[in-house]
Amino acid sequence: MHAPAAQTPPERTLIRNIGLLLSGDLNQPLLDADAILVENGVIAAIGAGRELADAGPAQVIDANSSAVMPGLIDSHVHPVFGDWTPRQNQLGWIDSFLNGGVTTMISAGEVHLPGRPKDIVGLKALAITAQRAFSNFRPGGVKLHAGAPILEQGMTEQDFADLAEAGVTLIGEVGLGTVRAGEEAQRMVGWARKHGLQSTIHTGGPSVPGSSYIDKDVVLEADPDIIGHINGGHTALPVDQIRCLCEGCQRGIEIVHNGNERAGLYAARAAYELGQPDRVILGTDSPAGSGVQPLGILRVMALLAGVGELPPEHVVCFATGNTSRMRGLDSGLIEVGRPADLLFAAEPQHSAGGDILQALAMGDLPGIGMVMIDGIIRCHRSRHTPPTSRLPEVVAP
C-alpha cells in the first residue's frame, strides 16, 4: 500500500510549466494555459504561470513540460471489500489502478462477493454496506462510487425508494441477477431512474459461467442510462446489433478493456459516424475472469487512438469528461471549481511520439509522473507505466 499520510491538501498549490493541458471536455480538449492554481483541493485558476504565481505562498510543482489532464475515470469495476478482490484473490488492486492514472471508479455491482445474497433484503443490505464502506475508505485515495445492487425478480418500487433513501445512487449491471427480460428490466430501471439511481446493463454474452446473454432488444427495451460494455464482457453482440444500440438510443456507449477489442473499435467509430462521440465512455470491467489491469484505461485509450485512429485528444475525453457528464460526477474536467484530481503524464521514454498525444496515436502507453486527488499527491512516478520522459517535481516549499 502506498497511501501517504496527508489527508488534507495544502492550502495552495501552484502547478507550473505544464507542456500540454488537456481539459477532458470534447468541445475544447486543449486549453491554452501552462499553469493551474489549486486551493484547498479545488482548481482555483487556470492560466499563465507568471500570473498565477502572484496568488501568494504555495507548494509549487514543476510539471517539467508533461501533460496534465483530469484523473481517469473507470466507468465499470467490480469491487468487493476494501482493496481486495476475491475474483483473482488479489490485494491492492485499487492502489495499482491509481498507478495507472485512475482517480475515480464506478461499481457495476459487487458481484464477486463470495456467498453474495440474492434475497431482496440481503441484496439491499449489501448495496448499502458497500456504499458506506467505500465512502469511508478510499484505497490509495481513489474515489470509488460503490453500492450497486444486482436486480432480482420480486423487487418492488418501494425497494428502490428504500435504497435511494439509504444513500445508494447506482444499480449494478442488469442481467447479472434473475431480471433478464426486457419488460421486467424496463420496469425496474424506470423505478431506479424515478428515485435517482443510475442504471447500467450487461450487454452481450455471459462473462463467466452463471452470467447471462443480453441482446440489443433487451437493452433497448430496458433503456438503462449506460449501455454497459457494448463491446461485450468479453463475448460481443454482432456488429449490426451494436449499430442498432448506438442508433436506437442516446445512452452512454461504454467500451471496456475486458471486452472484445474489435467490437469496441466498431462502437467508437459508429459513435463518430452518428456525430455523437460525446456518448463514448471507458471502463475496464475488472476485476474479472480476464484479470485485473492497472493500466486498463490507458490501454483502451491507446487502442482507440493507435489502432482506431481516433483523435488522441478526444480519447482522453472518453476517459474523463464524457464519463463525468454521463455519470453526473464533479471530477473529470480541468475547470475552475472542480476537484483537483489531476494526472501528470507524457510520452514514455524512447517513444516514437514527441508528446503524449503522438505517443497515443502510435499506440504507446503514456508514462505517468504524478497523480493528485483532491489536491493531495497520491503517487509520484507510477510503478506500473513505462517511465515518463518528463517527470514532474515538487520544487517548493
Contact 340, 43 (CB under 8 A): yes
Q: By CB under 5 A, is residue 251 in contact with Zn ion?
A: no
Residues 97-156 that bind Zn ion (CB under 5 A): none
173 or 364: whose CB is closer to Zn ion?
A: 173
- Residue 354: CA atoms inside 13 Å, Cβ hemisphere, count? 0
Shortest approach of Zn ion to residue 185 CB, angstroms? 14
Query: In angstroms, what is the minimal distance from the CB of 50 to Zn ion?
Result: 50
Q: CB 92 → Zn ion: shortest distance, Å?
A: 24
Nearer to Zn ion, 173 or 223 (CB): 173
Q: Shortest distance, CB of residue 207 to Zn ion, whole angstroms?
A: 5
How many chain residues are in contact with Zn ion, going by CB under 5 A? Answer: 3
Stretch in the footprint of Zn ion (CB under 5 A) among 171-179, 270-278, 351-359, 376-384: 171-179
Q: Considering beta carbons, is residue 71 or 259 the nearer one to Zn ion?
A: 259
Q: Tell me which stretch binds Zn ion (CB under 5 A): 81-89, 131-139, 202-210, 372-380.
A: 202-210
Minimum CB distance to Zn ion smaller for 150 or for 372: 150
CB of 252 to Zn ion, least distance (A): 14
C-alpha cell read off for 219: 437493452
Applying CB under 5 A, the span of 98-106, 121-129, 147-155, 199-207 interacting with Zn ion comes to: 199-207
Q: Please say which residue, 284 or 322, places its beta carbon nearer to Zn ion.
A: 284
Distances (CA, A) of 51 to 34, 48, 78, 295: 11, 5, 44, 36
Cβ-based nearer residue to Zn ion, 195 or 202? 202
CB of 226 to Zn ion, least distance (A): 11
Asked if residue 149 lies in contact with residue 172, where contact means CB atoms within 8 angstroms, the answer is yes
Q: Which stretch binds Zn ion (CB under 5 A): 17-25, 198-206, 259-267, 384-392?
A: 198-206
Distance (Å, rounded) from C-alpha 112 to C-alpha 123? 13
Cell reading at 132: 458506506
Is position 233 an interface residue for Zn ion (rule: CB under 5 A)? yes
Give CA separation, 346 vs 38, 284, 351, 370, in Å.
Answer: 21, 22, 10, 10
CB of 76 to Zn ion, least distance (A): 8
Tell me if 375 sits within 8 A of 13, measured CB to CB.
yes
Least CB distance to Zn ion at residue 382 (A):
28
Residue 209 CB neighbours (<10 A): 6
Q: How far is the CB of 154 from Zn ion (least distance, A)?
A: 22
d(CA 135, CA 169) in angstroms, rounded, equals 12
Please report whether residue 202 would count as binding Zn ion according to CB under 5 A.
yes
Omega of the bond prior to 287 within 30 degrees of 0, cis? yes
Choices 66-74, 228-236, 260-268, 360-368; region in contact with Zn ion by CB under 5 A: 228-236
Cβ-based nearer residue to Zn ion, 209 or 275? 209
- Cell triple for 265: 473499435
Taking the least distance from each CB to Zn ion, the nearer of 202 and 279 is: 202
Comparison of 173 and 254: residue with beta carbon closer to Zn ion:
173
Q: Which residues bind Zn ion (CB under 5 A)?
A: 173, 202, 233
